Amino acid sequence: MSIVTRFAPSPTGLLHVGNIRTALHNWMLAQKQGGRFLLRIDDTDKERSEEHYIEAIRKDLTWLGLDWDGEERQSDRLAHYDDAFETLRDAGRVYPCYETAQELDLKRKIQLGRGMPPIYDRAALKLSDDERAAKEEEGIAPHWRFMLDHNETLSWEDGIRGAQSFDPAQLSDPVIRRADGSWLYMLPSAVDDIEMGVTDILRGEDHVSNTAVQIQMFTALNAAPPRFAHEALLVGREGKLSKRLGSLGCDAMREQGIEPEALIAMLARLGTSQPVEPVLERSVLIATFDLSTFGRAPAKFDDAELERVNTAIVHQLPFEAVTDRLPEGMDEAGWEAVRPNLETVADAGQWWQIVTGPVTPPEFDTETRDFLAKATELLRWDDNPWGSLTQALKQETGRKGKALFLPLRQALTGLDHGPDMKAMLPLIGEENARERLTRAANG
């Protein structure tokens, strides 16, 4: 059976690195085994779901290169949840409850105060038909809970955490439907996973107790549960994700010059025993993706590390990958000349301005101006004008090292540092180079 994974975001906000990591790992799991990766928009929360967030999710996944093989929206599948609800009600696995949010909160506080776990006491099951009818006559609409079978141990072999087991008597029967008829997460998610043929669910460890509950939902709906794996959550260097990058969306990262390849390279291995490296080829990341390498400790997301990985990725990007983002006139030779000095692709414009000019050299003393005048005289244009010029000047003046190279760089670029002059000088061109040396020599 072909593997099927899914990413199921709620369109109530922008994706952040935690969401992106979940999407990436599900995509990689499917890619490695030649399976399918589905996008499911969990938009049953009508109050908070917004269409522009759905568009943003699609845009971000596209930017990241996480192409999906099918898409569904829960708001288009409400009839499916109604059918499943009726099946469960006929089987006696759902029941109406009439407590208000305030009453439930008071119950929890009393239980906690007595040192007891805050588990729903199933008081609604003790109501008689007449008592239920009386409440509805008062205008109290019920919310609905899924009844856990206390005789069925909740267990599974987790792809990351290993053997897991829960006592259902220590869990509350989860609310699956609100009093207004709208759906909570639990049942629609299980129904969708069944009907979409999802075979593997990889998600955060904050869903472990949800998995325990949903396993009984799968069996109550006569379906075999998928395989589950729960990865440790992301944290920042100081416990919480930094608002500067870590908890921001893809738009903010794009604005800061973060390449999708850098984000993919970092998140692919973050939280595993494998080193985070600036791997540009996704085939390498996919080939080495293995749930057995995932650890149980929280995975630390470091903004500074992302920036370092990003710089290393930029240094690997081929011209074809960046051509539409480079300044006008920059060709492949120009890109390869400036690339080793870049932190982001956008920085290429600053270096290209040195090529196109104008540049402002520093004020030189008389001896240095004489040296630059000699450079103007000795400049010859061949396959390696920088090498020829510096060799001729070395022989003529006896200068070497910094005394030889720095004044030339300053005169030609206006800077003390920068890309390799062997690559830069041909880009500047003979006419511009001669004019800059002459102007610097004349002061």
What number of other Cβ atoms are within 10 A of residue 343's Cβ? 13
User: Strand ranges (DSSP E) for 173-255?
Assistant: 175-177, 200-204, 227-231, 234-235
The string of DSSP letters for 226-239 reads -EEEEEPPEE-TTS
Task: Quickly tell me which residue has 């030649």 as its tokens.
Answer: 34
CA 170 to CA 343: how far, in whole Å? 53
CA 279 to CA 275: how far, in whole Å? 10
Q: Which residues are 201's β-sheet partners?
A: 228
CA 346 to CA 262: how far, in whole Å? 15
Q: Which residues are 143's β-sheet partners?
A: 97
Q: Helices 421-428 and 430-442 meet at what angle, rounded to 10?
A: 100
Instruction: Tell me: is residue 243 an annotated ligand-binding position.
Output: yes
Q: What is the DSSP letter of 206?
A: G
CA 87 to CA 81: how far, in whole Å? 10
Cβ contacts of residue 84 below 8 Å, gap of 6+? 187, 190, 191, 221
Cβ contacts of residue 183 below 8 Å, gap of 6+? 44, 74, 78, 81, 176, 177
Annotated binding-site ranges: 243
Annotated binding-site ranges for ATP: 243
